[in-house]
Amino acid sequence: MSIATLLRMPVPLPREAHAKAAQFAAEQATTAKGKQVYLNTLAVYAVHTYLNWLEISTDLTQSDCWQPGLRAIFDIADLAIPEVGLLECRPVLPGDAAFAVPISATDRIGYVAVQFQEDLNTVELLGFVRAAADQLAQSAEQAIAPIEIQLQDLLPLDALLNLLHPEAAINDLRQWLEGQFSEKWRSVEELVPSRFRNSRSGSRSAMGSNSPEQEPRYAEASSVTRATAIQLTQSGQSGQSGQLEQTVVLVVQVLSVVAAENSLNVCLKLYPDQASTCLPSQLKVAALDESGTVILESQPKEESVWTELELLDCRPGERFSVRISIGESSVIEEFCV
């Protein structure tokens, strides 16, 4: 995994996003303006969804593009980040090598490129660039043409996460081994009932040959295990209305292998919460590399009480993410080695 590789993150666009985009587009005076507003609204909704996965607060209603008068006059696609500022979410169409920053968007904290394809049900977040204050101020003052940003100049999304929420963006596993982790990571005993921890019923998807049942490959090792609750929202089943809240517990065990070039083994397990008897069968868990490619994935068997993934020989500097999803509802946790 290369730290310089762009993290291309696919984000689904639910019906409610298209409904809001269609509503805003219908208010516009021309078809061209309506199309612009439609894509801008979807781009903002995609970034809003992604940041909410990472528990970073956003406020659509305080965004300029959510105000009828402003979106009718300006080409704006901003997302309000409380106590931080406005983040511009610029649509990128198929074949584009760059995107433009309109003069009306020169006061943003930065810009996210949102890649659209012919199918508008999913977009990709290509990367982020922080606002160059001096350049943008000069552009606004002189009222010249919009600034063009090349896609090849984008930074990984990690740069955005570190700007918005540095303490929560990345879980540093080596700090875990030193006893340093955020408050949301608690002991396994606090979150996983003993009846689940002692169970042998589950499913596994592993990379490499090592498993808990085998002898350890190295004699000297240190480890730490922490857990956090993951809340997902499901649409109501057939014949039901509303949404259903589903909570599962993610357990991360980090094993430091002394004799293997300072590498780490990471075991990821999912358990039901206290109120459940088994994992939901629609649940999926995937490990993604730094480029956003799925490298491991698993789905629990019927009435399973745990499922796991194992990442072996993770080297210093590598990063990966864990995506836990039920239908269109997903939560992502980012990790660095």
Provide the pLDDT for residue 209. 32
Q: Check whether residue 87 and residue 214 sit in a common domain.
A: no
C-alpha closest to that of 154 among 324, 8, 320, 302 = 8
Same domain, 177 and 212: yes
3-state per-residue secondary structure call for the chain: CCCCCCCCEEEECCHHHHHHHHHHHHCCCCHHHHHHHHHHHHHHHHHHHHHHHCCCCCEHHHCHHHCHHHHHHCCCCEEEECCCEEEEEEEECCCCCEEEECHHHCCCCEEEEEECCCCCCEEEEEEEEECCHHHHHHHHHHCCCCEEEEHHHCECHHHHHHHHCHHHHCEEHHHHHCCCCCCCCECHHHHCCHHHHCCCCCEEEECCCCCCCCCCCCCCEEEEEEEEEEEEEEECCCCCCCEEEEEEEEEEEEEEECCCCCEEEEEEEEEECCCCCCCCCCCEEEEECCCCCEEEEECCCCCCCCEEEEEEEECCCCEEEEEEEECCEEEEEEEEC
Is position 3 within any domain? Answer: no
Note whether 77 and 203 are same-domain residues.
no
Q: Are residues 194 and 147 in the same domain?
A: no
Q: Are 83 and 48 in contact (CB under 8 A)?
A: no
Q: Is 120 contained in some domain?
A: yes
| 23 and 103 share one domain | yes
185 in the same domain as 158: no
Q: Are residues 175 and 273 in the same domain?
A: yes
Last residue of a domain, one of 129, 150, 166: 166
For residue 147, being part of any structural domain is answered with: yes
**Shared-domain flag, residues 126 and 58:** yes
Does residue 138 lie within any of the structural domains? yes
153 and 174 share one domain: no
Last residue of some domain: 129, 144, 166? 166
Residues 317, 210 share a domain? yes
Residue 1 located in a structural domain:
no
241 is a domain residue = yes
Q: Domain for residue 4, yes or no? A: no
Q: What is the pLDDT of residue 133?
A: 43
Residue 279 lies in a domain: yes
**Predicted pLDDT at 258:** 58
Q: Which domain holds residue 298?
A: 170-336
Residue 28 has what pLDDT? 97
pLDDT < 50 regions, the chain: 1-7, 133-141, 143, 205-220, 238-239, 241
Number of folded domains in the chain? Answer: 2
Reading phi first (left if > 0) and then psi (alpha if -120 to 50, else beta), residue 13 is in beta
CB contact at 8 A, 24 and 41? yes
Domain boundary among 166, 187, 213: 166
**Within this chain, do residues 66 and 102 fall inside the same structural domain, yes or no?**
yes
> Do 229 and 158 share a structural domain?
no
Tokens of 299: 């789905």
Q: What pLDDT does residue 40 have?
A: 97
Here the tokens at position 172 are 């540093």
What's residue 166's pLDDT? 53
Residue 242 pLDDT: 52
